[in-house]
């Protein structure tokens, strides 16, 4: 819990302080409806406020008529019971302009907080699931800017917009007659499809952003301001950075061990020299090597290490989730996600009328459509690799036979073709994964995300590791593997850092920025509009997969190249800063739903940690050192293999037992959870009784 | 759900019917307090009843004075708020006799039902956690004999007795001054230790027992009356018989496959003939065998079968648990078990004052004491086996050298010594396991049971399988393994059936029974007293371990002896009947706590199902047939081993995926559970609000 409580400072007393900052200079025009009556009125009297914080920008299509815009503003401002979103809208400087700025009144925010199942600080000092009716007992519930994080407030606006559904069939005013909303249609989706709405994105808050970036990457401290990240960017982003942080620190033990081994083991030094220099000359072995080689030590350590790290991360993750109030998210009990469709019916859990879609149908679709398609694409990856190897071999043969300029040029053809093929495949697959997941029709946003991520993850991972696995398991060429791994670790990571940060930075600075120069005197609206010219944030997938691939290099092949952890540690220390810079400066601010953990990524890391046992045992078995040892001890190849299999089984058993024994949540969280279960059980009994008496 | 609803017949309308039966002839004397005012009065007026059902018998020590007995009856009858048990007591025919008959008034039963967290049928038709204050909305809550099962009523009496704690320091009246109860001492435990109470056991209900036994084992139907078993013997017994039933039926597919293979595969026939006759002569192989041998088919089938069976059982188990109202047992939230000790403190979950014992201390005790001790005993088993093999070899050598009568007699010495050693070890271990588990100081009865069972289970299983594993993995002697397995399957099971049923039956009939002859005219009290002469029920451990060992033979070594499943199926069909007979006739009725599943046994079966993959792959690899095939295909020993390892990994992967994909509870139960979670969440919010308003 580094930096714990950092952003709590001054909150209880200084309610007006952070607000004044954000209202600041240029904002006064938009944020004080009493002066410029641009903001729509909040529908309930308790929510009238002197200042309104602009949170989200909606960009309309160029050809949208003022009539449509007026209708839209009215819809957004209408109370929820009348089918509106219950938000506050501002039409921008000129009523005919193509933007709408949104904010949310207190009641809407509080009700959505309850619907999302967010936990907030109760007057007793515990985090408890927020209840609108009980709002006065929650701390800061009268000051939204202290009560909800900026990310939560912005997500709630998106949540309300996504939840807009037509209450009856109607024509969109100012649009062609063909644009008709049918009853229960999702309005925001339809408007997007009809081109009325081009974009919806949350607005940066320049002062807070400056604060955050100072605490995060411009100063030189080691700990990240995770609570501030959660406040500004939301819990999904904060979980990524917490994991990055946790994972980076947990690289220390293997890195130290790796350095130690590299320093003391002559064998390892020689091998690494070979892998970097490419020379294959054997040095004379004058001294006897110790019985347990550095590789073995490294392998066994890293296999057990990965389980301990993942179990400890689960504990930290649940502690963070309690801290950030996302431990009891009520997604299951909330409205289904916008894209969900099905026959209307009564939800047996909540008793509400909503679209229902039978579980078995979804399972069937997954089993009969998604799984085969994913399998097909994995097969295509293998096919591509096989063709590549075959083509390379034949081209090399050809070159040997002909030995001409043309044949030399031909040498590059297989690689180029393979790269083109792989990229095309990945693009097609990504589109397909999206439609497959859409077709599976998940009820909850998180289930949708997890299934989509899972699909792309399997493919990307396969794509990344197919070659390494091929070298390790089929070619069984350890020196080649070591060489590949070294080049991947050093070159790929450098390339990644460059493409991820330097290129966007240059593009931003020298290509986009000149069009975006702004002075202090520009109207606030233009500044908002300018944020729209930044590229949208592409999501955390690329960041997570980078970590996963790293973790794969480390755990799957660590015994081949002991300095892996050292290189990764160095990489991650810069990665934290560069990711932070990237997310703060180079992209539009993303919406970030509250999440309770890393979702499918956690599973992926755990699976990898088990696969690593198989791979490490195999690699150790292949190592010439162990083969020598075996021959000296008079063991046949079979009994050596047998021994390796036994060691593997024991290690897997140890890992399973460790994973079962380390509890997934700290004791204090378990107690709090059980206490909540107990009190809600009691409450249920009481309620039944009350219902019966009345 | 065979026999579903069987015992519901006539319940809603015929409330008096079953009662009249049990009140019957001879019971009138004890059960009508208006005639013979022997029963103590219920403390609350609503519980006064014309007839009282004798449920539990307490046997006092021979030397207990009437004064102590009077004090005890008063204590048992006193309301709970005064530190009593709130039960009804009857001193027997003569006030000075050494028995007390107990029953329970309605209010005590209902309150305990809530405390235990039992679910009962709500007026809406769903099973819901019972709440005393809401009792009128539960079906049959005015007729205890329809509302609670007999087993539940009897268990509740035990629960109340176990919960008796001294409210202040006091001397037991009529006893020596040294018998002093200190504040918060567990009275029932202390009285047992002081020799005041010799025995506490539930009484059989002869009419219901006759009903049950007719439906269960005297008639010839295939399905078991599981609901009736649950009603009479309680859910832990009912779960055992449900599992036995489920498991027996699920033996059908492997049995059919086994028969099929035995019929068609010449190789298998020859092997089995050899294993039974003991002859080793090779028959000429005139026809080419098919490529995939019966053994392989059998092995792969049984590996996948075991996972499917266990997953389906979990689903059935949760359905049964819903049906029997034990899905939401509130043991965590109830008082700790009698033997639990610790410093008094406030339970952070329930807020009650009770003994607390920190989790880490228990973990430490388990890690530093229990695990090493268990490991030591497993080591002793291996040591014993090693010594046995060594002694046998030396004795045989000796016999060869001397060849005298004495040396021939010596031949038996190692076996005899080994049997004596093993039995002594088992006895010592059992005592030790009990004190270790006591020392671990578990808060809940179920946790205590699971840890105790787990300890004994590991040891017993190891003891049973050590020899087979030795033959399979070290001697690598498949024919010997087949022979051993055949003899174990046929002989051991016959012996088991005989010792389990025939011996107790004979003892009961010809040794105990003559002392127990009773005529219809005997006073009811003597009949009760007679039940005490039956041996106490030794618990389900022996039954479960028999099933587990069976399952072990089947899943671990099935590919060696394809008819295993057939033999087990035949055995189990009689086992069901004989177990039922045994439990109804040969033992005292046991107390049976409500349980939600099989506890640690389920885990044991699942673990076994994974170990079976390793063992089967290994055995297949050893099989001469596969070795031949490999040689024909030109595969070396190493690559054959490699292939086996790969197959093993794939099978384990498939099993893990299957286990993850098959949901552990049926869809309809998941929905009901989520509905309860949702409503209790709502209720909690409502309650907070009410508290705040008032």
Which residue did the predictor score with more confidence, B503 or A314?
A314
CB proximity A645 to B under 8 Å? yes
The torsion angles phi and psi of B673, rounded to 5 degrees, stand at -65, -45
Whole-number pLDDT of residue B30 = 47
CB proximity B678 to A under 8 Å? yes
The interface predicted TM-score (ipTM) is 0.80
Whole-number pLDDT of residue A528 = 77
Given pLDDT bands bounded at 50, 70 and 90, which one contains residue B439? very high
Q: How far apart are CA A548 and CA B652, in angstroms?
A: 24
**A427 has a pLDDT exceeding 80:** yes
Looking at the DSSP bridge assignments, the partners of residue B100 are B58
The residue extents of the domains of chain A are 6-212, 235-324+472-662, 667-694
Whole-number pLDDT of residue A18 = 41
Shortest Cα–Cα distance, B347 to chain A (Å) = 9
Reported residue count of chain A is 694
Interchain contact, B684 vs A679, CB within 8 Å: yes
CB proximity B693 to A under 8 Å? no
B243-289 residue pLDDT tens: 999 999 999 999 999 888 888 876 666 766 666 665 554 444 445 55
Q: How far apart are CA A523 and CA A531, in angstroms?
A: 13
Shortest Cα–Cα distance, B627 to chain A (Å) = 14
The position carrying tokens 């020596």 is B176
Question: Among the ranges A25-39, A452-466, A549-563, B666-680, which has the highest mean pLDDT value?
Answer: A452-466
Looking at the DSSP bridge assignments, the partners of residue B599 are none
Average pLDDT (B442-450) is: 89
Question: What is the DSSP secondary structure assignment for residue A536, as one 8-state letter?
Answer: P
Q: Which residue on chain A is closest to B133 by alpha carbon?
A: A689
**A243 has a pLDDT exceeding 90:** yes
Average of per-residue pLDDT values in chain B: 81
Which of the residues B639, B648, B661, B680 would you substitute to probe the A interface, choosing the one with the greatest number of A C-beta atoms within 10 Å? B680
CB proximity B62 to A under 8 Å? no
Q: Taking CA B627 as the corner, what is the angle to CA B623 and CA B628, rounded to the nearest 5 degrees?
A: 115
Alpha helices in A251-370 (DSSP H): 252-264, 266-277, 294-323, 359-365
B305-332 residue pLDDT tens: 999 999 999 999 999 999 998 888 877 7
Return the percentage of chain B with pLDDT > 90, whole number.
18
- Structural contact between residues B683 and A683, judged by C-beta atoms closer than 8 angstroms: yes
Q: Which residue on chain B is closest to A114 by alpha carbon?
A: B685
Given pLDDT bands bounded at 50, 70 and 90, which one contains residue A5? very low
Average pLDDT (A239-252) is: 93
CB proximity A687 to B under 8 Å? yes
Whole-number pLDDT of residue A522 = 60
Given pLDDT bands bounded at 50, 70 and 90, which one contains residue B691? low
Alpha carbon dihedral A317, A323, A326, A327, in 10-degree steps, equals: 70
Interchain contact, B359 vs A667, CB within 8 Å: yes
Average pLDDT (B600-627) is: 86
Q: How many CB atoms lie within 10 A of CB A551?
A: 21
- Structural contact between residues A331 and A290, judged by C-beta atoms closer than 8 angstroms: no
Given pLDDT bands bounded at 50, 70 and 90, which one contains residue B581? confident
Whole-number pLDDT of residue A463 = 84
Shortest Cα–Cα distance, B507 to chain A (Å) = 46
Q: Which secondary-structure segment (H or E) carries B99?
A: strand B99-103
The position carrying tokens 């991360």 is A313
Shortest Cα–Cα distance, B302 to chain A (Å) = 21
- The shortest CB-CB distance from A681 to any of B129, B638, B645 is to B129
Whole-number pLDDT of residue A518 = 54
- Structural contact between residues B110 and B130, judged by C-beta atoms closer than 8 angstroms: yes
- Structural contact between residues B105 and B135, judged by C-beta atoms closer than 8 angstroms: no
Interchain contact, B667 vs A637, CB within 8 Å: no
B543-563 residue pLDDT tens: 898 889 888 888 888 777 788
- Structural contact between residues A51 and A16, judged by C-beta atoms closer than 8 angstroms: no
Q: Which residue on chain B is closest to A137 by alpha carbon?
A: B692
Which of the residues B643, B685, B694 would you substitute to probe the A interface, choosing the one with the greatest number of A C-beta atoms within 10 Å? B685
The position carrying tokens 């295509």 is A380
Which range has the worst mean pLDDT, A271-285, A493-507, B164-178? A271-285
Contacts of A352 (CB under 8 A, 6+ apart): A346
Interchain contact, A680 vs B680, CB within 8 Å: yes
**B13 has a pLDDT exceeding 80:** no
A333: which chain B residues are within 8 Å (Cβ-Cβ)?
A: 678, 681
Whole-number pLDDT of residue B248 = 92
- Structural contact between residues A17 and A9, judged by C-beta atoms closer than 8 angstroms: no
- The shortest CB-CB distance from A684 to any of B349, B636, B683 is to B683
CB proximity B690 to A under 8 Å? yes
Whole-number pLDDT of residue B513 = 58
Average pLDDT (B135-152) is: 86
Whole-number pLDDT of residue A289 = 53
Interchain contact, A614 vs B679, CB within 8 Å: no
Average pLDDT (B614-626) is: 82
Whole-number pLDDT of residue A672 = 85
Alpha carbon dihedral A380, A381, A383, A385, in 10-degree steps, equals: 160
CB proximity B308 to A under 8 Å? no
B134: which chain A residues are within 8 Å (Cβ-Cβ)?
A: 685, 688-689, 692
Whole-number pLDDT of residue B318 = 93
**B116 has a pLDDT exceeding 90:** no
Whole-number pLDDT of residue A35 = 36
Interchain contact, A642 vs B641, CB within 8 Å: yes
Which of the residues A643, A686, A689, A690 would you substitute to probe the B interface, choosing the one with the greatest number of B C-beta atoms within 10 Å? A686
B330-340 residue pLDDT tens: 777 777 888 88
The position carrying tokens 């909850």 is A444
A79-136 residue pLDDT tens: 888 888 888 888 877 767 788 889 888 888 888 888 888 888 888 888 888 888 888 8
Q: How far apart are CA A600 and CA A433, in angstroms?
A: 15
- The shortest CB-CB distance from B678 to any of A333, A638, A679 is to A333
Q: How many CB atoms lie within 10 A of CB A423?
A: 11
Whole-number pLDDT of residue A25 = 38
CB proximity A669 to B under 8 Å? no
Task: Please give the structure tokens belonging to residue A417.
Answer: 């073709």
Question: What is the DSSP secondary structure assignment for residue B130, as one 8-state letter?
Answer: -
Average of per-residue pLDDT values in chain A: 81
- The shortest CB-CB distance from B678 to any of A131, A350, A688 is to A350
CB proximity A650 to B under 8 Å? no
Interchain contact, A676 vs B684, CB within 8 Å: yes
Whole-number pLDDT of residue A95 = 67
Using CB atoms and an 8 Å cut-off, which of residues 595-614 of chain A contact chain B?
614
CB proximity B221 to A under 8 Å? no
**Residue B680 CA: distances (Å) to CA of A120, B124, B136:** 19, 17, 20
Q: How far apart are CA A409 and CA A399, in angstroms?
A: 9
Interchain contact, B667 vs A692, CB within 8 Å: no
Q: How many CB atoms lie within 10 A of CB A243?
A: 22
Interchain contact, B681 vs A350, CB within 8 Å: no
Average pLDDT (B478-485) is: 82
Return the percentage of chain A with pLDDT > 70, whole number.
86
A77-91 residue pLDDT tens: 888 888 888 888 888
Which range has the worst mean pLDDT, A210-214, A451-455, A500-504? A500-504
Q: How many CB atoms lie within 10 A of CB B637?
A: 17
Q: How far apart are CA B452 and CA B455, in angstroms?
A: 5
- The shortest CB-CB distance from A133 to any of B637, B645, B685 is to B685
Question: Among the ranges A329-338, B355-364, B483-492, which has the highest mean pLDDT value?
Answer: B355-364
End-to-end C-alpha distance for chain B, whole angstroms: 48
**B158 has a pLDDT exceeding 50:** yes
**B83 has a pLDDT exceeding 50:** yes
CA atoms within a 13 Å half-sphere pointing along the CA-CB vector of A634: 0
Closest CA to A677 of B596, B687, B329, B677: B677
Using CB atoms and an 8 Å cut-off, which of residues 350-409 of chain A contact chain B?
350, 359-360
**A12 has a pLDDT exceeding 70:** no
Shortest Cα–Cα distance, B365 to chain A (Å) = 14
Whole-number pLDDT of residue A239 = 94
Q: Which residue on chain B is closest to A692 by alpha carbon?
A: B134
A614: which chain B residues are within 8 Å (Cβ-Cβ)?
A: 649
B357: which chain A residues are within 8 Å (Cβ-Cβ)?
A: none
Reported residue count of chain B is 694
Q: How far apart are CA B51 and CA B274, in angstroms?
A: 67
A338-353 residue pLDDT tens: 888 888 888 888 888 8
Given pLDDT bands bounded at 50, 70 and 90, which one contains residue A380? very high
Whole-number pLDDT of residue B245 = 92
- Structural contact between residues B589 and B536, judged by C-beta atoms closer than 8 angstroms: no
Per-residue b/e over A468-497, b at no fewer than 16 CB within 10 Å?
Answer: bbbbbeeeeebeebbbbbbebbeebbeebe
Q: How far apart are CA A358 and CA A368, in angstroms?
A: 16
Strands B197-202 and B56-60: antiparallel
Average pLDDT (A586-597) is: 88
Whole-number pLDDT of residue A277 = 61
Given pLDDT bands bounded at 50, 70 and 90, which one contains residue B453? very high
Q: How far apart are CA B254 and CA B264, in angstroms?
A: 15
Q: How far apart are CA B91 and CA B98, in angstroms?
A: 8
Which range has the worst mean pLDDT, A12-21, A312-321, B119-128, B252-261? A12-21
Which of the residues A349, A474, A614 would you substitute to probe the B interface, choosing the one with the greatest number of B C-beta atoms within 10 Å? A349
- Structural contact between residues A144 and A49, judged by C-beta atoms closer than 8 angstroms: no
Given pLDDT bands bounded at 50, 70 and 90, which one contains residue B694? low
Using CB atoms and an 8 Å cut-off, which of residues 112-141 of chain B contact chain A?
114, 129, 131, 133-134, 136-137
Strands B99-103 and B56-60: antiparallel
**A305 has a pLDDT exceeding 70:** yes
Interchain contact, A350 vs B687, CB within 8 Å: no
- The shortest CB-CB distance from B680 to any of A133, A675, A684 is to A684
Interchain contact, A684 vs B688, CB within 8 Å: no
- The shortest CB-CB distance from A645 to any of B360, B645, B692 is to B645
């Amino acid at each position: 819990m580094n930096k714990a409580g950092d952003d709590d400072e001054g909150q209880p007393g200084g309610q007006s302080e952070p607000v004044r900052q954000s209202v600041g200079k240029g904002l006064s025009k938009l944020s004080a409806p009493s002066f410029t009556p641009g903001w729509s009125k909040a529908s309930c009297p308790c929510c009238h406020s002197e200042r309104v914080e602009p949170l989200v920008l909606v960009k309309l299509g160029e050809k949208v008529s003022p009539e449509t815009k007026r209708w839209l503003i009215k819809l957004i401002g209408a109370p929820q019971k009348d089918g509106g979103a219950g938000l506050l809208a501002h039409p921008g400087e000129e009523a005919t302009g193509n933007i709408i700025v949104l904010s949310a009144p207190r009641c809407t925010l509080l009700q959505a907080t309850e619907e999302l199942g967010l936990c907030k600080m109760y007057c007793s000092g515990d985090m408890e699931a927020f209840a609108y009716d009980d709002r006065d007992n929650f701390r800061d519930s009268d000051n939204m800017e202290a009560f909800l994080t900026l990310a939560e407030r912005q997500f709630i606006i998106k949540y309300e917009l996504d939840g807009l559904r037509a209450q009856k069939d109607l024509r969109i005013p100012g649009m062609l007659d063909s644009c008709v909303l049918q009853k229960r249609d999702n309005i925001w989706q339809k408007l997007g499809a009809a081109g009325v709405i081009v974009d919806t994105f949350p607005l940066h808050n320049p002062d807070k952003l400056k604060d955050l970036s100072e605490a995060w990457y411009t100063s030189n401290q080691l700990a990240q301001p995770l609570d501030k990240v959660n406040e500004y960017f939301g819990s999904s982003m904060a979980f990524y950075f917490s994991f990055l942080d946790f994972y980076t620190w947990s690289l220390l033990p293997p890195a130290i061990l790796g350095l130690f081994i590299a320093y003391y083991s002559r064998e390892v030094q020689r091998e690494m020299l070979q892998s970097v220099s490419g020379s294959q000359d054997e040095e004379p072995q004058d001294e006897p090597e110790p019985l347990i080689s550095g590789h073995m030590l490294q392998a066994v350590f890293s296999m057990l290490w990965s389980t301990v790290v993942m179990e400890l991360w689960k504990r930290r993750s649940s502690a963070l989730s309690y801290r950030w109030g996302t431990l009891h998210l009520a997604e299951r009990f909330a409205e289904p996600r916008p894209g969900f469709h099905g026959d209307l019916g009564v939800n047996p859990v909540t008793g509400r009328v909503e679209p229902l879609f039978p579980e078995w149908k979804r399972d069937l679709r997954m089993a009969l459509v998604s799984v085969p398609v994913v399998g097909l694409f994995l097969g295509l990856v293998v096919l591509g690799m096989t063709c590549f190897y075959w083509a390379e071999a034949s081209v090399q043969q050809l070159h040997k036979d002909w030995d001409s300029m043309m044949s030399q040029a031909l040498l590059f053809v297989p690689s180029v073709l393979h790269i083109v093929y792989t990229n095309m495949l990945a693009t097609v697959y990504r589109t397909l994964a999206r439609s497959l997941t859409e077709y599976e029709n998940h009820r909850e946003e998180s289930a949708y995300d997890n299934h989509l991520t899972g699909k792309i993850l399997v493919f990307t991972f396969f794509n990344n590791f197919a070659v390494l696995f091929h070298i390790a398991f089929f070619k069984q060429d350890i020196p080649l593997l070591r060489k590949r791994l070294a080049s991947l670790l050093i070159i790929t990571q450098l390339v990644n850092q460059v493409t991820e940060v330097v290129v966007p930075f240059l593009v931003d600075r020298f290509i986009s920025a000149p069009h975006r120069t702004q002075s202090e005197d520009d109207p606030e609206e233009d500044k908002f509009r300018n944020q729209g010219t930044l590229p949208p944030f592409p999501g955390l997938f690329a960041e997570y997969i980078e970590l996963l691939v790293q973790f794969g290099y480390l755990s799957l092949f660590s015994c081949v190249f002991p300095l892996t952890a050292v290189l990764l540690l160095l990489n991650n220390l810069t990665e934290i800063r560069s990711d932070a810079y990237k997310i703060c400066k180079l992209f539009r601010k993303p919406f970030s739903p509250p999440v309770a953990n890393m979702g499918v990524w956690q599973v992926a890391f755990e699976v990898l940690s088990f696969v690593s046992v198989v791979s490490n045992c195999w690699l150790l078995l292949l190592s010439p050192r162990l083969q020598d040892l075996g021959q000296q001890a008079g063991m046949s190849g079979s009994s050596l293999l047998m021994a390796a299999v036994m060691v593997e089984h024991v290690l897997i058993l140890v890992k399973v037992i460790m994973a079962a024994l380390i509890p997934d949540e700290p004791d204090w969280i378990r107690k709090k959870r059980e206490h909540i279960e107990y009190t809600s059980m009691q409450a249920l009994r009481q309620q039944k009784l009350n219902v019966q008496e009345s």
